[in-house]
Amino acid sequence: MRSTFSSKLALCVFLVIAIRGVCLLESVAQESPQPVVEVEEVVCTFVPPGNGAGPLWCYGAPLIVRLQDSVFVSAMETGEGVPKLCNTRWQLFERDQRGWQLAQKADAFREREPCPLVGFSNGRLFLSVNPSLSPPGTHYGPCDPHILEFSAERLKQFPGQLRPVWEGETRFTDHSYRGIASDAAQGEILLLNIHSQTGEQFWSFLDKNGKWSGQGKIRFPIRSCYPQVALSDRAAHVLAISDIVEPNEEWRAYKKEKTGRSWDYVFRRLFYTWSPNIAQTDFAEPLELENVDSTAGYIRNLDLWLGPRESAHVLYLKMPVQSALLRDKFFPEMKITTSLEYAILRKGNVVRRATLVKGGEGAANEIPGNARFHATKDGRLYVIYYCGGRDKNGKPVSENRILQALPNTGAKPVTIPLKYPFTTFFTATERGGSSPSNTVDLFGTGHQRNTLRYARIRL
């Protein structure tokens, strides 16, 4: 009898300890981060080029890379008096003990778009450039997309050139909508560039032996742009947003009547595609992740991160209806909301969806905006986002926040105590060759006019 009682008592004690242990693990897993701002500073100022692009126009492709203790950014400079469209040039900056230093810049103003930047673990840096081949002032003229290679240790040395090999006949112009990804550990790159007439995304793969050993085309159902590209052990993933003229004739005519604007491109269908081994297998038929076309909505693809168990993590903004103009006329019962959406895919299939933050009519008055992923050394995945609007007391809100996505969601977002919050920004991402880190690097713009800023945050 005593033995039976002792056994039951021991079992109860074990269960209590086990339950408390599980609760402790869940508490740790959902514990909110404690961001500490270590650096806030200006990288450079800029003059808007007026050519339809801007210094963060390539929001799908990285502009900041951290390699160990050094941080590098690519920043656009507009040429004074240079006729558009190709009236800018790239600048490559490095942050050292003295702060930000300009290391190199192009000789001439021959670019329309900012030039994405990626790196390898061994200190090689790669700038994706797209200089015009036409006289200054040419619109939609042919361009020469290629890669410039730099050494992080000898950044002022003249860069080498890597010239991609493409499949079939190409037509690349100043509107490249190009994407790029680096597998920093393997030393491989995947580069995308859009065909200006067909809308196909041409891709070219640079392997670790320095050969462009794979080429092909991604055919989205409709023209899709601003791609986020990720590459890991030759598994390749692409996220892109539809970018076409308003397809609804009645809506287009009504908008033009009320606004007087002829420019009317819409972004309503989100696509994803992947290849398990880009050296051997072409991309799969694109999957449509989200569609708000029927209600005149808006989607902005924000980020793509490759996680454990062959998972692809996707982040995007969604508005079921974009503006009061169309809502009041065509969808009077709908509410205008903005939500920050998160999805996980495995082998081309969606395995999870979640709305992380939502604001607008009928919801909170705090509205989510631009957002990025950030992964840490211990396997946590965070979402950093801008939040505007007003709080529950009616006070204006403008700040950056961070919340946990992995291993569990559920913890409340935490304000990052920045003096100058970022409204649009990049993180030093693994897609660009940066390593997971407890240090967050942000590069982008805020409320300071024509200013590119940097911040370093410790978690």
Cβ(384)–Cβ(402) below 8 Å: yes
Cβ(142)–Cβ(133) below 8 Å: yes
Strand partners, 127: 117, 148
Return the closest-CA partner of residue 278 out of 190, 164, 200.
Answer: 190
Domain assignments of the chain as residue spans, ordered by start: 233-363
User: Could you tell me how far CA 325 lies from the centroid of its own chain?
Assistant: 29
Residue 405: its pLDDT value, please?
95
Return the closest-CA partner of residue 184 out of 90, 306, 280, 284.
Answer: 306
Cβ(195)–Cβ(216) below 8 Å: no
Residue 33: its pLDDT value, please?
85
Residue 30: its pLDDT value, please?
52
| Integer-rounded Cα radius of gyration of the chain | 24
Assign 392 to helix, strand or coil.
Answer: coil
- Per-residue pLDDT tens digits of the chain, which is 459 residues long: 434 434 443 433 333 333 344 333 333 445 688 999 999 999 999 999 999 999 999 999 999 999 999 999 999 999 999 999 999 999 999 998 889 999 999 999 999 999 999 999 999 999 999 999 999 999 999 999 999 999 999 999 999 999 999 999 999 999 999 999 999 999 999 999 999 999 999 999 999 999 999 999 999 999 999 999 999 999 999 999 999 999 999 999 999 999 999 999 999 999 999 999 999 999 999 999 999 999 999 999 999 999 999 999 999 999 999 999 999 999 999 999 999 999 999 999 999 999 999 999 999 999 999 999 999 999 999 999 999 999 989 999 999 999 999 998 777 999 999 999 999 999 999 999 999 999 999 999 999 999 999 999 999
Q: Can you give the pTM of this predicted structure?
A: 0.92
Single-letter amino acid, residue 42: V
Mark 356-365 as b/e (b = at least 16 C-beta within 10 Å). Answer: bbbbbeeebb
Strand partners, 259: none
Output the six-digit token pair for 298. 């808006």
Strand partners, 374: 382
Residue 39: its pLDDT value, please?
97
Cβ(324)–Cβ(331) below 8 Å: no
How far, in Å, CA of 355 to CA of 363, rounded?
A: 13
Q: Which residues have C-beta within 8 Å of that of residue 293, sequence separation ≥ 6?
A: 247, 268, 269
Burial of 379 (0-12, 13-18, 19+ CB in 10 A): exposed
Cβ(331)–Cβ(351) below 8 Å: no
